[in-house]
Amino acid sequence: MSDPTHRATRRNLATQPIPRGKPHPKTLRGNIALAPDEITTAMEMAREMRIKRDIAVYAARKRTA
């Protein structure tokens, strides 16, 4: 195996976890009963956050262009 963790273990070095991809928040499991107004509020909040993120990404792209 040429995996860095395996090599470090063979050489008795302290192993470091290798980050792979982006960290993801924990997802809620099970059936969660949400009222329709809560779902609407959550959708509106998600839409606002998406718009803010899109504006920030666009501004960053314009700065680097």
pLDDT tens for residues 9-62? 666 666 566 667 776 676 767 777 778 888 899 999 999 999 999 999 999 999
| C-alpha radius of gyration, the chain, whole number | 21
Asked whether residue 62 is assigned to any structural domain, the reply reads yes
Q: In angstroms, what CA-CA distances link 42 with 38, 48, 54? A: 6, 10, 18
Asked whether residue 51 is assigned to any structural domain, the reply reads yes
Asked whether residue 19 is assigned to any structural domain, the reply reads no
Helix, strand, coil in percent for the chain, rounding step 5 = 55, 0, 45
Asked whether residue 8 is assigned to any structural domain, the reply reads no
Asked whether residue 28 is assigned to any structural domain, the reply reads no
Count up the domains in the chain and report the number: 1
Domain that holds residue 54: 33-65
Give the pLDDT confidence score for residue 49 in this predicted structure: 96
Asked whether residue 55 is assigned to any structural domain, the reply reads yes
